Amino acid sequence: MHSVVIVALPGVFPYELGVPARFFRAAERDGEPLYSVTTCTLDGLPVETNADFTVTPAADRSALETADTIIVPPWTDAETSGDPIGLAAYADRRIVSFCTGAFTIAASGLLDGKEATTHWCAGDEFARRFPRVRLRADELFVDTGGVLTAAGASAAVDATMHLIAKDHGAAVAATVSRVTLAAPHRGGGQRQFVARPAVAPTGGGSASDIQAWLLSRIDEPLSLGDVAGHFGMSVRTLTRRFRAETGRTVGDWFADARVDRARELLETTDLLIDDVASRSGFATAAALRKHFRDRLGLAPQQYRSRFARAA
């Protein structure tokens, strides 16, 4: 079982502290849990949160010795107090931060020469203090393989769902999403903060309306003109409105959704690759393979070999 250990430092933010336990503990296969989750403090004693209560941990820092994944939520002095955990000693583990917890990882040196993100409000200070880290200030989370950094609050959910899908496949992640009533997670490349249109759109045609309609027709060969026509707007208006609300193009978002659909089919069916491509909206198996390699670094058959489950 994969061991996840969350480190609660003084003034820890309760929301991000609780996300890993809620979502990783919901990940099961055949009724068996896939993760163990432990919350520790460095000395095993209770710590105050940045709210009006304290938390009592289950363990002290010795829990880190057997951790596969170590998570650092934001804490009050994260931006100024270096790395009290000593994360460099755990460089062979998967290290994850939420929000300004990225400052703690960066102080350890584990992010030198790598890409990372943090809450957009702290981006300028992060860039000033850690010039050797390539900050991607707008993104929800950045996964470099051994280290994952996520932006604040809800991005912690997105990052956790990403890790579950990475470890155990899209079908397990989808089940967690249903159990927790979480919205389907957003990819890390989406922007943290998207300026809203100056004038709210009237009637239908919001980004969420467009996404829902596209998902219901994921296997159809739709053009931008088809989508715009359905919602009674021009292609230019459709493109501008969707980007203003999501920070992405319609085509890029829909390609990601189609890859997610293909992942589920590869995991849960024995359909031929041509049929998977057709049912997930790709014109050819070659197109499916290209999108898979671009987004996941794997061919569809390699993905199936890793994540396919017996019916």
Residue 243 contacts by C-beta under 8 Å, 6 or more apart in sequence? 249
In angstroms, rounded to a whole number, what is the distance separating the alpha carbons of residues 215 and 194? 22
In angstroms, rounded to a whole number, what is the distance separating the alpha carbons of residues 233 and 94? 46
The CATH homologous superfamily to which domain 201-311 belongs is Homeodomain-like (1.10.10.60)
Nearest one of 139, 77, 131 to 104, comparing CA atoms: 77
List phi, psi (to 5°) of 227.
Answer: -65, -50
pLDDT of residue 207: 84
Nearest one of 255, 249, 252 to 292, comparing CA atoms: 255
**Check: CATH 3.90.600.10 for 2-180?**
no
Question: CA separation (Å) from 72 to 162, 231, 273?
Answer: 17, 44, 40
Domain boundaries, the chain: 2-180, 201-311
pLDDT by residue, tens only, the chain of 311 residues: 999 999 999 999 999 999 999 999 999 998 999 999 999 999 999 999 999 999 999 999 999 999 999 999 999 999 999 999 999 999 999 999 999 999 999 999 999 999 999 999 999 999 999 999 999 988 889 999 999 999 988 899 999 999 999 999 888 988 898 898 876 556 655 556 544 443 344 456 788 889 889 999 999 999 999 999 999 999 999 999 898 888 789 998 899 899 989 988 998 899 999 999 999 999 999 999 999 888 888 899 988 888 775 43
SS3 per residue for the chain: CEEEEEECCCCECHHHHHHHHHHHCCCEECCEECEEEEEECCCCCCEEECCCCEECCCECHHHHHHCCEEEECCCCCCCCCCCCCCHHHHCCCEEEEECCHHHHHHHHCCCCCCEECCCHHHHHHHHHHCCCCEECCCECEEECCCEEEECCCHHHHHHHHHHHHHHHCHHHHHHHHHHHCCCCCCCCCCECCCCCCCCCCCCCCCHHHHHHHHHCCCCCCCCHHHHHHHCCCCHHHHHHHHHHHHCCCHHHHHHHHHHHHHHHHHHHCCCCHHHHHHHCCCCCHHHHHHHHHHHHCCCHHHHHHHHCCCC
Domains 2-180 and 201-311 share a fold: no
pLDDT of residue 194: 44
pLDDT of residue 309: 59
pLDDT of residue 98: 98
